[in-house]
Amino acid sequence: MKLTEEKYNKYALVREIMETPDIIKAFNPEVAAPFVPEVKKHKGLFLTGEGSSRIFPAKRAIYTTQKQGMTLPVMTDGCTQAEEYNLKDFTVFAASNSGQTKEVVRLTTLLKKQNHPAVFGLTAYPKTKLEEIASRTHILSCGKEEACAATKSVIEQGLFYDSLLRLVNGQKMDGLSDLAEKTNKVLSTTIDPEITSIISNATMIYFAGRNTGVAEELALKTNEITRKKSAFLEGTFAVHGIEEVMDKTEVVIWIEPFPEEEEKFNECLVKGVGLNIIAVSTKKTMFPTIIIPDGGQYAEYVQLAAGWNILVETGIALGINLDKPTRARKVGNEYIPE
């Protein structure tokens, strides 16, 4: 993507995506500090929300805590299901860019009625219903998003949870300038037109990979940006039965493939089904590969940005108005005051 070209810069989606490196660079990890004492009082951290406000930020946080061996349990589920949970021993964070998401308002209202002492909000706007209910709310600095698909806000939500967990565990959050540079690089990378053609012509776009929120979030963005059907195939799920109903008109985009499973994917999906696999990886794979920088401790942010680049190129190739889907809404299920 290049903002100097009219085919990109006419879309708010692209302009907002390209703001992301500066948002990363300017992020202040200390914004999470006021929430740390309350988190330390509880036995776990529950991160909720709907859609993009939950998928990447919460699932990346869970993956990171598990990978690094942090002792604080971190969990997530959607707000409506969470109404059935006993969350009294958890610090609860509810994320909603609008602060008006119906499911978020309903859950936080319920918890406050139960006198839960630690229900916090994460929004992009001040003076919202969520802020009114929550014990305390952090307002993102990324500013308003005009495009239907949330992008820059997703990254900042992820950074907020990242900084929160590091502060709780006595760790520093550094290297953001380097992450910003790598994110800018991956967003500006030219995607091979042959790869764009394969994806554009596919009847179904699957995203495979670790349960870090990256592939799942990109599956959602596929619907909003390319208007194509998509699904998230967690881990190696792609070779555990679903191949029975796949066909050669479909494509799998595999985020940072497990090297030890490449041959199996090739055998089952490429040879067996006849479909294409596109890899997004820091190193060459046995499939057509989009090479990305190694983001190290922040790898998932770089992977997500690479996916945005792929989807924007696909949407443009299909002649789609990236900012205006027919049915999808900026606030999927909006709270309306009675």
Give the C-alpha separation, 57 to 221, whole Å.
Answer: 15
Asked if CATH classification 3.40.50.10490 holds for the domain at 6-175, the reply, yes or no, is yes
- Name the pLDDT band for 6 (thresholds 50, 70, 90): very high
pLDDT of the residue at 324: 84
| Predicted local distance difference test score (pLDDT) of residue 338 | 63
End-to-end alpha-carbon separation of the chain, Å?
A: 44
Report the pLDDT value the prediction gives residue 145, as an integer from 0 to 100.
85
> Where along the chain do its domains lie?
6-175, 190-291
190-291: CATH number: 3.40.50.10490
pLDDT at 331 over 90: no
pLDDT at 318: 95
Question: What sign has the CA pseudo-torsion 59, 62, 65, 69?
Answer: negative
CA angle 232, 108, 160 (to 5 degrees): 60
Mean pLDDT, all residues of the chain? 95
Average pLDDT over residues 294-312: 97
What DSSP element (H or E) covers 48?
A: strand 44-49
Q: How many helices (H) and strands (E) does the chain have?
A: 14, 10
- pLDDT of residue 139 exceeding 90, the answer is yes
Report whether pLDDT(335) > 70. no
Largest CA distance in the chain: 57
Q: For residue 148, what pLDDT is reported?
A: 81
Residue located via tokens 């985020």 = 255
Distance CA 59, CA 173 (A): 19
pLDDT, tens digit (0-9, with 9 covering 90-100), for 215-251: 999 999 999 999 999 999 999 999 999 999 999 999 9
Rounded to whole angstroms, how far apart are CA atoms 124 and 121? Answer: 10
In this structure, of 83-92, 222-231, 305-314, 326-335, the range with the lowest mean pLDDT score is 326-335
pLDDT at 121: 97
Instruction: Answer whether 6-175 and 190-291 agree in fold.
Output: yes
Q: Give yes or no for a contact between 253 and 221, defined as CB atoms under 8 angstroms apart.
A: no
pLDDT tens per residue across span 162-216: 999 999 999 999 999 999 999 999 999 999 999 999 999 999 999 999 999 999 9
Q: How far apart are CA 221 and CA 217, in angstroms?
A: 6
- CA 35 to chain CA centroid, Å, is 22
pLDDT tens across 25-69, in order?
Answer: 999 999 999 999 999 999 999 999 999 999 999 999 999 999 999
pLDDT for residue 93 is more than 70: yes
Mean pLDDT confidence for 324-336: 69
Above pLDDT 70, what percent of the chain?
97
